[in-house]
Amino acid sequence: MLLKKAMRKILNSCKKTTELIDIKAMTSLSFKNRVQLYLHKTMCKTCSAYEHQSKLIDSSVMRWIETKTKPNTESSQKRKKKILEDISKS
Amino acid sequence: MKTDPTNSKISVENWVNDYSDALFQWAFYKTSSKETAEDLVQDTFLAAYKKIDSFKGNSQPKTWLFSILNNKIIDYYRLRAKTSKKTVSLTEHQGRELSNGFFNEAGDWKDTAINPIWNEDQELLDNPKFNTVMQSCMDDLPLKWKHAVTSKYLTDKNAKAICQDLSISVSNYWQIIHRAKLVLKKCLETNWV
């Protein structure tokens, strides 16, 4: 029990670890955090899996935004057509 | 300066072709909603067409159109603040509770099982249903979070500029992105059948 407590202090909770995983994707972590993250992941499958999921969520959001804003696609042509129709009506 | 109506129509038509994509992207970045962005761009061109006489030609058409659009965006947010909140997105408090809900008091996963939807990466992304689910998950996010997420992926702005836009600190921004990702995880795991 005491060992477990000590380990948690060193290796962080899963909650803290997921936070570090997401922050690592945006900026660089301190050396201490990098070591903690590495050790935690070797011992915790769910957090390792979260790192993969977090990356997949990145690609998902990216994909979603691309389909929304990509210029010169069908939707862009449709938008242009609609605007032009409205102008000629006014 | 009086412009010939046919001429003004032609120049606005050209502007639609040249600038509507850029205007749309900006409006989408500002409102995080495809439909709203489309409406705002539409209104922008209509307004431009109606008051083309006031376009002196001493600024670039693009600049002029963007200034009209920015006013439309401000109007949109003013109106939205006045009319009651119709959106059903989560409040920030609910979002925080939802993201905390993954963990017990000690900070360990409540459920250590790994959901199998994440194993089939490519199938997940290529599934035609994917965008519909993603759309509703993004709409669920608290508005500020959605804005932070959209800014992060849509623009090449750095974190500092985004934070200034949202008037939050950088560490707050990291927290928001982290929590938003947990909420998206939850939403995708629930709605992906």
For B89-141, write each residue's pLDDT tens digit.
788 999 999 999 999 999 999 999 998 888 877 777 777 777 788 888 998 89
Q: Which of A57, A82, A87 has the CB atom closest to B185's CB atom?
A: A57
What's residue A63's pLDDT?
Answer: 84
Which of A25, A6, A86 lies closest to B38 in space, CA to CA?
A: A86
- Average pLDDT score over residue span A1-22: 84
Q: What's the pLDDT band for B87 if we cut at 50, 70, 90?
A: low
Task: For residue B109, list chain A residues with Cβ-Cβ distance below 8 A.
Answer: 14, 46-47
| pLDDT above 70 for B167 | yes
What's residue B172's pLDDT?
Answer: 92
Domain that holds residue A24: 8-89
- Average pLDDT score over residue span B146-154: 85
- Average pLDDT score over residue span B164-192: 91
Report how far residue B109's alpha carbon sits from residue B99's, in angstroms, rounded to the nearest whole number: 11
Please give the CATH topology (third level) of the domain spanning B92-191: Arc Repressor Mutant, subunit A (1.10.10)
Task: For residue B25, list chain A residues with Cβ-Cβ distance below 8 A.
Answer: 69, 71
In chain A, the residue whose alpha carbon lies closest to the alpha carbon of B182 is A54
Report, in angstroms and rounded to the nearest whole number, the Rg of chain A calculated over CA atoms: 23
Number of domains in chain A: 1
Percentage with pLDDT > 90 across chain B: 36
Q: How far A34 CA sits from the closest chain B CA (Å)?
A: 17
H-type helices in chain A, by residue range? 2-11, 14-24, 31-43, 45-69, 74-89
B112 vs A27: CB contact, 8 Å cut-off?
no
In chain B, the residue whose alpha carbon lies closest to the alpha carbon of A63 is B125
Which of A18, A46, A53, A48 lies closest to A33 in space, CA to CA?
A: A18
| pLDDT above 50 for B36 | yes
What tens digit of pLDDT does each residue of B54-78 get?
887 778 889 999 999 999 998 888 8
Please give the CATH topology (third level) of the domain spanning B5-82: Rna Polymerase Sigma Factor; Chain: A (1.10.1740)
- A73: in domain: yes
| pLDDT above 70 for B83 | no
What's residue B28's pLDDT?
Answer: 87
Q: Give the H or E element holding residue B157.
A: none
A26 vs B177: CB contact, 8 Å cut-off?
yes
List every span in chain B annotated with CATH 1.10.1740.10.
5-82
What tens digit of pLDDT does each residue of A24-81 get?
999 999 999 999 999 999 999 999 999 999 999 998 888 888 877 766 567 788 888 8
Which residue reads 């002029």 in tokens? B64
What's residue B124's pLDDT?
Answer: 76
A86 vs B46: CB contact, 8 Å cut-off?
yes
Q: How far B154 CA sits from the closest chain A CA (Å)?
A: 7
Which candidate in B111, B170, B181, B184 is best for mutational testing of the A interface (most A CBs within 10 A)?
Answer: B181
Report the largest interatomic distance among the alpha carbons of chain A, rounded to a whole angstrom: 77
pTM of the model: 0.72
List every span in chain B annotated with CATH 1.10.10.10.
92-191
Count the Cβ atoms, other than its own, within 10 Å of residue A70. Answer: 13
Q: Which of A50, A76, A87 has the CB atom closest to B46's CB atom?
A: A87
Which is more confident, B43 or A87?
B43
